[in-house]
């Protein structure tokens, strides 16, 4: 069997038509779409198989739909893979927990449907924003964030530590715009993201508080393999620890660099990304540049029925 760490992407990895081939070939896969539609109250197959970009980017629909795709891809290869561990980026953490048996697929779809709605409603006046700051190192970005906060007096922080050269800031719209300007002045790039709020920041506190009771009501089981969590980048080995991490996730930064480095330090050398397109696999070598050469790392993508069938057991 293939031995690898499972990686599940989050928002931004969606594609038109995602998951359709698997669903049309498997009654179980189709039923998961129907379950997500009941949980969300949205016509997810219509949106993602026949919809437009605006509809697909709506986090209310995106969160349950992407979770379905991730989980169906995992189901398609589960019999041929022995997971060493798992991790998911932001939303993808729910898929990782389901793959490890910590939460049931039904519970995960109910939680991500609620999470999507709460996050969409968290900033009705559009006060928050996010931006990727590129071609700058961590020290430069942290200085930009500190200088921006001091200059405009608005909240801003590093929300996603994706790679040493790809960091995402989140906060008040004016602060994010100023940070992008400062990034350009520092010979970097600032790209504002198409999101509905300042995710992974204190501006999600109300949404996080509303989600928390439902997280606590869910049944949390011991993981079948370790799950590395966003809030701290470390592996958890019990359901209670996974719950505590997920309770903090919505308002905490995504510690993806630490996640990848901790996996490598714990022995990981092969990763399997399960999602609509290559996103997380591209981050592995940059995160581990201080530890390994790229040719020492194996990364595979399973993003449709064809690639699932082709995966060697």
Q: What is the bridge-based pairing of β-strands 156-163 and 81-88? A: unpaired
Closest CA to 238 of 254, 252, 250, 227: 227
| Beta strand spans in the chain (E) | 2-8, 81-88, 128-134, 156-163, 166-172, 189-192, 227-228, 235-236, 270-274, 298-302
Separation between Cα atoms, residue 132 and residue 144, nearest integer Å: 13
Marked catalytic residue, from 13, 40, 75, 90: 90
Contact 18, 72 (CB under 8 A): no
Neighbours of 34 (CB within 10 A): 13
Separation between Cα atoms, residue 57 and residue 47, nearest integer Å: 10
**Residue 200 annotated in active site:** yes
Marked catalytic residue, from 40, 107, 113, 200: 200
Residues with active-site annotation: 90, 200
């Amino acid at each position: 069997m293939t031995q690898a760490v499972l990686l599940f992407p989050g928002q931004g990895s969606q594609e038109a038509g995602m998951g359709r081939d698997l669903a049309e070939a498997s009654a179980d896969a189709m039923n998961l779409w129907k379950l997500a539609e009941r949980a969300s109250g949205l016509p997810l197959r219509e949106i993602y198989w026949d919809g437009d970009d605006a509809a697909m980017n709506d986090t209310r629909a995106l969160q349950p739909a992407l979770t379905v795709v991730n989980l169906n891809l995992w189901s398609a290869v589960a019999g041929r893979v022995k997971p060493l561990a798992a991790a998911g980026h932001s939303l993808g953490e729910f898929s990782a927990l389901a793959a490890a048996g910590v939460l049931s697929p039904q519970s995960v779809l109910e939680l991500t449907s609620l999470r999507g709605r709460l996050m969409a409603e968290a900033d009705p006046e559009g006060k928050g924003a996010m931006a990727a700051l590129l071609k700058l190192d961590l020290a430069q970005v942290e200085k930009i964030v500190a200088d921006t906060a001091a200059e405009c007096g608005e909240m801003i922080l590093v929300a996603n530590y994706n790679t040493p050269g790809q960091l995402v800031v989140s906060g008040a719209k004016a602060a994010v715009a100023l940070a992008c300007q400062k990034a350009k002045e520092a010979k970097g790039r600032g790209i504002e993201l198409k999101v509905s709020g300042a995710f992974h920041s204190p501006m999600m506190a109300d949404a996080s508080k509303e989600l928390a009771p439902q997280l606590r009501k869910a049944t949390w089981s011991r993981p079948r393999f370790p799950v590395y969590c966003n809030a701290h980048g470390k592996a958890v080995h019990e359901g209670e620890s996974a719950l505590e991490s997920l309770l903090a996730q919505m308002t905490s930064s995504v510690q993806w660099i630490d996640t990848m480095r901790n996996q490598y330090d714990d022995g990981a050398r092969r990763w399997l990304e399960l999602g609509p397109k290559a996103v997380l696999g591209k981050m592995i070598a940059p995160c581990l540049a201080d530890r390994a050469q790229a040719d020492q790392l194996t990364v595979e993508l399973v993003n449709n029925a064809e690639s699932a069938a082709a995966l060697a057991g």
